[in-house]
Structure 1
Amino acid sequence: MTVPSSESVPSLAGLRGMPEARQRELGYADTLREILQQPATWRATAGSQGAAFRTALDHALGGRPPQVVLTGSGSSVYVGEALAPVLQAELGIPSRAIPAGDLLTHRAGVLPGPEGLLVSIARSGDSPESVGAVDAVLANAPGWRHLVVTCNAHGRLATRYASEARVDVIVLDPCTNDRSLVMTSSFTNMLLAGSALGATRPADGAAALVERVFDVYADALAAIAAGERDTAVYLGSAGAYGAARESALKMLEMSGGDTVTLAESFLGFRHGPMAWLNRGGVLVAFLSGDAGIRAYESDLLRELNAKGLGATRVVVGQDIDPALVGDGGLSIDLPGLYALPPAQQLLVHTVVGQLFAFFRCLQLGHRPDTPSEGVLTRVVGEFTLHEGGAA
């Protein structure tokens, strides 16, 4: 595979400064705008949680559900994987993520119990399995309440259940309904909105840190993306594993499959997936803000040093030991990261993954707004929903 030299892709400032017509010609205008708008949209999402927003959340949580299930498809279920550990810790209610497709095909085997709160997360709200899963649970598990978090006021998830008392809907600002095929600001804003089930907090700190990532670290990420590497591994613990899964998907999507990806937990990485590093490539590590968890994560990275497993590393955290990064790696050291609420730390990790994939996409000569044309579409097309299949 031939990768253009690092000089062939401008700096972030250069990309931002190109005329919009040129940005569209190169196929990155929407994706770059949507990545860069995230700090402003987070401030708006956190600040817009007024009466209607809070009423929907309180109604959904009314009577304190015995359990919470977060569902969606693709990136949207990774929002759920990121949120579930955070919500369980803050609410004291068992919380888990289940793909909408599993609810559609294996509802009886995966839906945990006769009642709870099902949170459906969807950028467009028009994916067939997302709507089909809600329909099936409403019809067959009437004890479940529903909360929809979406970026599209006109999608079926937002409009279909207007007369259904068991369903509450939160619609985010229209600018979060990303036009790019890949989800960026929609992902992080739905994560932030969903985190308000636990506690509502301003997002100014997370916004400021991501602005620092743009200003200080973006071009270093671009330089690593320019290397002759065709694999990328992402590691995270608990909610950060959801961020790792999303980051791996962004790289796979935006590189058109030319960069093969893997996401794993730090502790799970020893149990076979560590063999992946024989391929070289890049390892992206999202370090936890919990000192006890971070000790396990640091031990794993030091073990890789001892074994001479030399993938180039991008390590995201605070007060990062240089030994965890290694030669030729990138330490994205962000003072104040661990003072953020747990869900907002995940926003920062996710944006690093987005930027890395964006630069890799350009280096490979692909178009970030429409990667894998003819294979992927912004909204999954209609397909037949079959009867049965709920065992």
Structure 2
Amino acid sequence: MTTYLGLTLEEAAARGAKWTSAEIVQQPETLRQTAAGLAGDTEARNGFLAPLLANPDLRIILSGAGTSAFIGESLAPLLSLITDRCIEAVATTDIVAGPRICLRADQPTLMVSFGRSGNSPESVAAIDLADQLIDDVHHLVITCNADGMLARYAGRSERAFAIVLPDATHDRSFAMTSSFTAMLYAALAALGGAAHAPVALIADAVARTVGKYAPLAADLGKAKFERAVYLGCGGFTGIAREGALKLLEMTDGATAAIHDTPLGFRHGPKTFLNGRTLVVLFVPNDPHARAYALDLLDELSREGTAQRVLAVTTRPIEGRPAADQVVIDGLELASDLALLFPYIVVAQMIGLWQALALGKTPDNPNPAGIVNRVVQGVRIHAIA
């Protein structure tokens, strides 16, 4: 019998988790499908990007709203390092509210726009503002919806190119899961190159993580923690932020969640901890950053304030109980870019099982419509 994170299809449907559970589980396959699609589109994509990337003064903006913005936050620091380029994560919500602060008229710019549906008002408005305010601007659209406004814009503009991902990545659930990892992978492969995006390695690691640690996520849900903290540095700061959002979204705000960096956490946010708090710490492979993560892990263990401290790592941490470690096999020597994918899947599974333990329906956690799958209620104001 096929199960999805420990749920049969019938159980998942009855508990309002049919789409969310299936879309978490399908990520190894959607990553492979995404890679195959990119391979088939290499010539056209490179024809668009190569002349732009030949300019050493090119500014690359990774942009989106909500989860789509966190793709950029996860990739920008690591992509900047491997490409030696000016790559920045700037949310569309910031661009729309402060276009003259975020955009530079005289600097050639490639704006990379992420959008599951491609219909978020801020995503469309950010492109319009860039076209108005930047003298030399081009757009790379990465979207899961061929019929969305972003894809349609790219189809009619000579200054834009769209990477449209397989339809399976266009998540039907409220929370973005497979859409997040697919768009993350597409941007990594397009801007960093295939050598930095080994799909077999990444997809296999995600599959092992789902298979091995779904029971742990279910056990955490049974504990019904009241608060959660996700911690990560570098690219894992974006992953930590996305992990916290997944928990908030799927539990309809019933479980409070914050994110921070291992060093930043001591500067006040640590007061968030109590005896009903789960801490999830994403441990890098980079040895320098890893040392700081392990220092905080030791500190939290000594103090014993939190209910549970969980380390997500590629190598077992000596002296730490195995039950408090999520060890991602097969990526011990991989770059931190590859770790982004299985690490966020851990957070997705925790969010799902916490929601189910609280009686929430992850596919549609807020039936009242206070929040929506595609954001509503945004009024776009013209710039003076």
The bucket for the TM-score relative to the shorter chain is: over 0.9
For 1:3, the equivalent position in structure 2 comes to none
Structure 1 CA distance, aligned partners of 2:328 and 2:108? 41
5+ residue gaps in structure 2? none
Q: Distance in 2 between matches of 1:104 and 1:384?
A: 10
Does residue 154 in structure 1 map to residue 147 in structure 2?
Answer: yes
SS of the aligned residue for 1:48 comes to helix
Among 155, 158, 168, the residue aligned to 2:161: 168
Assess if the C-alpha contact under 8 Å between 1:71 and 1:77 holds in 2. Answer: yes
Query: Alignment partner for residue 138 of structure 1, among 131, 142, 146?
Result: 131
- Does residue 307 (structure 1) correspond to residue 303 (structure 2)? The answer is yes
For residues 125-173 of structure 1, the C-alpha deviation after alignment (integer angstroms, 9 at most, x for no partner) is 0001100110111122131211100000000000024232111111000
Alignment of 1:1-391 (within 5 A): 14-15=6-7, 17-19=8-10, 22-64=11-53, 65=55, 66-112=58-104, 114-196=107-189, 197-200=191-194, 201-278=197-274, 280-323=276-319, 325=320, 330-374=324-368, 375-381=370-376, 383-388=378-383
Query: Any idea what SS the aligned residue of 1:278 has?
Result: coil
**Deviation by residue 1:56-99 (Cα, 9 ceiling, x = unmatched):** 25523524252211000000000000010121012110111111
Q: Secondary structure at the match of 2:90?
A: strand
Q: What amino acid is the match of 1:32?
A: S
Indicate the structure whose relative CO is greater, using CA pairs within 8 Å and at least 6 residues apart: 1
Residue type at the aligned position of 1:131: V
- The percentage of aligned residue pairs carrying the same residue is 35
Q: CA, structure 1 residues 287+132, in 2 after alignment: closer, same or farther (shift >3 Å)?
A: same
Structure 2 CA distance, aligned partners of 1:47 and 1:161? 21
Unmatched tracts of structure 1, length 5 or more: 1-10
Question: SS of the residue aligned with 2:156?
Answer: coil
TM-score normalised by length of structure 1: 0.90
Q: Could you tell me how far 1:24 is from its partner in structure 2?
A: 2.5
Q: Structure 1 CA distance, aligned partners of 2:276 and 2:356?
A: 21
- Amino acid across the alignment from 1:30: W
For 1:122, give the aligned amino acid: G
What SS does the corresponding residue of 2:184 show, helix, strand or coil?
Answer: helix
State how far apart, in whole Å, the 1-side matches of 2:318 and 2:227 are: 23
Structure 1 residues 90-120: Cα deviation after superposition (integer angstroms, max 9, x where no partner):
2110111111011112111122553221100
Q: Which range moved further: 171-180 or 102-111?
A: 102-111
State the one-letter code of the partner of 2:206. Answer: V
SS of the residue corresponding to residue 165 of structure 1 reads: coil
Alpha-carbon separation, structure 1, partners of 2:212 and 2:239: 21
How far apart are 1:193 and its partner, in Å? 0.3
User: Size of the alignment, in residue pairs?
Assistant: 374
Measure, in 2, the Cα distance between the counterparts of 1:56 and 1:233.
Answer: 39
Q: CA RMSD in A?
A: 1.9
> Would the aligned equivalents of 1:226 and 1:360 in 2 still touch at CA under 8 Å?
yes
